[in-house]
Chains A and B, each alone.
Chain A
């Protein structure tokens, strides 16, 4: 027992671990809650694309201000919003949305890498942007993520019902006179903000997992929206913390560790969920069992 306690508390002796845990927790929860709408609206590919498309903005922020978080954040946000608008504009011209996403996503990503490659410490910096560097989180980073994370959660709490209706039934949204364009744009803005504040924890390449996997796991476990959000947040939070411990003890990169823990939650739900789980379905369809219940 004392060993287990020490196992849990030892990492907390390091300030970088404490800050990393706090950052991962914020990112895990915010991504998971917002991710519920992303999953319900089928925007997984869009989220992944915006995550990659912020890279040129982040790169410019980095070239201007180094590791100072504000220019990074501002640059990433501007690039994310411009990409979302670009995707919208191309889609309106009659091109399919996923094609538009593919075009914007790859070109912005290429531009970002091109910009970062002008710096001498190219590979290290790029790795951090791609896969995160949660143990390098500074105090000011933490405050910024905390502030923006709270803003995202409060906005979702305020517009919870409206986002639900535009996701479920756009015609009802119109007859109820909801400001549909405003709400859609607000959701895009929330996605961009969340991606930028998660940059340091998981990096752009793995962002989609944080946005989609906890909500996908939660959707297998419940059929009510509020419960789905709560479960998603819990799965996101546990994955963030467990992933960081895993990375500490097994000595693997922290971003991938968090994502892998998250994926194992999804697999567990996929196999064992009482309603939709693969194994439960098998078990229910088992001819021997059916024979028994009938006799």
Chain B
């Protein structure tokens, strides 16, 4: 890793020159996933362009987490192909994944900085220890998510929102070009959500492509470049007005969604399947 030239040590997406830009950043072809006798995903195909911010929406059990598991290489799809810059995921380390329920050992003897440093171990070799440059990247990632003041804190002694931000910092420290975030907004108060969007804005400046799963349809419509509506199959993928049509939404949420047409044509939506215990009624 060359860490010179720019004032920032954190070169997010800096190795894009190693990739072939005639390809999209991510390309899924006819992905299907079966678990024993349930179908989680059926024939999903799409492409993402470099630097896009895409919201993935759909009811509980729609296959959002499954989709992220497939893209990150955690899960092998039953059918279909995932291309990342034209490579298969197994040969690639430029993806970071902030999973929905981090199944980590919260009692593990590691503090916040140690956990963020784990994002960099793919870049070190055997017998190698973190160098000054690595610690600098970790510090910058923690600064970016506003967690540097807690870097000595034991990982189990953080609030849920703080834990979430540590895992985002770890994804930043990975210097990934594609970042998958599974419901990073749920369970957070409005201020913490805005903090996350501030981080997403910085990622956009660095041309990092971001996929975010969320149940907040308003935020999805307002704050993302494109929306991906999922319920086993890919129902719609495009701008909010293309995706939030009564037809597609009732296909996705089949009855559990209330659509209210008002005189000025605005539509009020409610994702009845919400997560994190909050009722989302934007009426």
Contacts and interface: CB of A to CB of B under 8 A. Distances in A.
Given A40-B108, A168-B115, A171-B103, 17 more contacts: A158-B126, A161-B118, A162-B121, A174-B72, A175-B72, A175-B73, A175-B93, A176-B121, A176-B122, A177-B90, A177-B93, A177-B122, A178-B122, A219-B109, A223-B154, A224-B109, A228-B109
Interface in A137-169: 157-159, 161-162, 164-165, 167-169
A177 B108 contact: no
B105 A167 contact: yes
Contact of A165 (B92, B99, B121, B154): B121
B118 A165 contact: yes
Given A40-B105, A172-B119, A225 B110 contact: yes
Contacts of A222: 109
A114 to B, nearest CB: 39
Given A171-B97, A174-B74, A223-B154, A161 B109 contact: no
19 contacts: A40-B105, A158-B127, A159-B126, A161-B121, A167-B105, A167-B108, A168-B105, A169-B102, A169-B104, A171-B102, A174-B74, A175-B95, A175-B96, A176-B121, A177-B73, A177-B90, A177-B92, A224-B109, A224-B114
User: In which size bucket is the chain A interface?
Assistant: 20 to 34
A215 to B, nearest CB: 10
Contact of A175 (B74, B102, B126, B154): B74
Interface in B118-134: 118-119, 121-122, 124, 126-127
Given A164-B118, A177-B90, A40 B99 contact: no
B173 to A, nearest CB: 11
Nearest to A218: B109
A170 interface: yes
Contacts of B102: 169, 171
Contacts of B30: none
A175 B111 CA distance: 21
Nearest to A165: B118
B249 to A, nearest CB: 31
Closest 7 A/B residue pairs (Cβ): A176-B122, A161-B121, A169-B104, A158-B126, A174-B74, A175-B97, A225-B109
A225 B111 CA distance: 9
Contacts, number: 77
Contacts of B103: 169-171
Contacts of A167: 105, 108
Interface of B: 72-74, 90-93, 95-97, 99, 102-105, 108-111, 114-115, 118-119, 121-122, 124, 126-127, 154, 170, 174
Nearest to A36: B109
Contacts of A224: 109-111, 114
A175 B102 CA distance: 13
A169 B118 contact: yes
Contacts of B91: 177
Contacts of B90: 177
Contacts of B124: 161
Contacts of B92: 177
B127 A157 contact: yes
A217 B50 CA distance: 50
A227 B102 CA distance: 25
Contacts of A169: 102-105, 118
Nearest to B92: A177
Interface string A54-78: 0000000000000000000000000
Contacts of B99: 171
Q: Please indicate which of the listed interface residues A158, A171, A224 has the most CB atoms of chain B within 10 Å of its own CB.
A: A171
Nearest to A174: B74
A105 B174 CA distance: 42
A40 B109 contact: yes
Nearest to A169: B104
Contacts of B108: 40, 167-168, 225
Nearest to A178: B122
Contacts of A164: 110, 118, 121
Contacts of A227: 109
Interface in A203-235: 219, 222-225, 227-228
